[in-house]
Structure 1
Amino acid sequence: MSSVPQNKVELMSAISDIFEKLQRDINGIPVEFSRICEIEGNVKGTKISVCDTLAYLTGWGKLVLFWYEEKAAARVVTFPADGFKWNQLGLLAQHFQHEYRDWSFHALQQELLVTTQSIITLIKSLDNSELYEQAWYEKWTLGRMIQFNTSSPMKNVRTKIRRFKKVNKLR
């Protein structure tokens, strides 16, 4: 399989595989380490926590679901989100982190699980043509937009989580 999913089966596999690996890594982190800000943030020069990374991934996953629901209902969608432009993704990441700042480590893990399962369910409900054979947002297919905002950031976050675990001797 190429590193970029080219069809429905590869997309589901990419998301499921990286999510399972990320979940294993996160499950090895004690709750008392979950709010330590030692992970490179999405805004240059910032440090975030494991909980913040979960908020970031959940925020993007929920945004993907929102985009789909709004477009399916023929409503106008502001990309990437109301109040944010594509060159403000660091600020959007901070918005997600702020939105979930009071959630427990366990609740964030659960929310990411439910969100990821909802994305897989959405993908299963669509055919390959809907996902990969037509532009959905500008030149991008729906499958690509889902991948850009799920499996790709999950891979990036997993690298950061593994580095955090190594530094904190949590292997």
Structure 2
Amino acid sequence: MVPKDKNELLKAITENYKKLTTELANIPIELTEKKELDGHSKNTLISINNLVAYLIGWGQLVLNWNYKKSKGLEIDFPETGFKWNELGLLAQKFYKDYENDDFKMLNEKLDKTTNEILKLIENKTNRELYEMTLYDKWTFGKMIQLNTSSPFKNAKNRIRKWKKIKQLK
């Protein structure tokens, strides 16, 4: 289901995040740094830690877009120094940004980022989220969804697939 309003967006993020954290909760710590998942760039492998760093990175971008918009500043989409056709490079930047954080710290940062996004949404009107464009033809609500609930669902599915291969419950 693609959220069409503020309440659906809050529900989608909350539900997909809960399912993701359930999958993350029982991963043995010694497996979190092994590069065994398909990466965000073709023919690359990433670790569970990289996957969580990727989610934090996009969440922080959403918060940054909101901050810049609220201050009347120009927003470089998707991020300063990156174009939309360079998302693989941006993913690598996220891995590097959080490479010194362990699995526990990454989960704490993802939790904090997600809660900040939920608060941001709570403080917006449906009009601000779904009746005004933020970038090109995209509303802020759609941009949030594309960078939170959808990647949460994708990450959960990647982890489940990996767990199945590793024979982890």
Alignment of 1:109-120 (within 5 A): 109-120=107-118
Aligned to 1:17: 15
TM (normalized to structure 1)?
0.97
- Aligned length, in residue pairs: 169
Question: Is 2:30 the partner of 1:32?
Answer: yes
* Among candidates 66, 89, 107, match of residue 64 of structure 2: 66
- CA distance in 2 between counterparts of 1:136 and 1:89 reads 19
Aligned to 1:5: 3
**AA in 1 matched with 2:157:** T
- CA distance in 2 between counterparts of 1:130 and 1:99 reads 30
| Greater shift in the superposed pair: 130-139 or 88-97 | 130-139
Local SS of the residue matching 1:115 = helix
Question: Is 2:105 the partner of 1:107?
Answer: yes
Question: Is 2:116 the partner of 1:132?
Answer: no
Structure 1 unpaired stretches of 5+: none
- CA distance in 1 between counterparts of 2:88 and 2:157 reads 18
The offset of 1:163, in angstroms, is 0.9
Local SS of the residue matching 2:61 = helix
- CA distance in 2 between counterparts of 1:150 and 1:41 reads 18
The offset of 1:169, in angstroms, is 1.4
Local SS of the residue matching 1:77 = coil
- CA distance in 2 between counterparts of 1:71 and 1:106 reads 32
Deviations 1:31-90 (A, max 9, x none): 001011110000000000000000000000000000010011001111100110000001
* Among candidates 162, 166, 169, match of residue 168 of structure 1: 166
The offset of 1:91, in angstroms, is 0.6
TM (normalized to structure 2)?
0.98
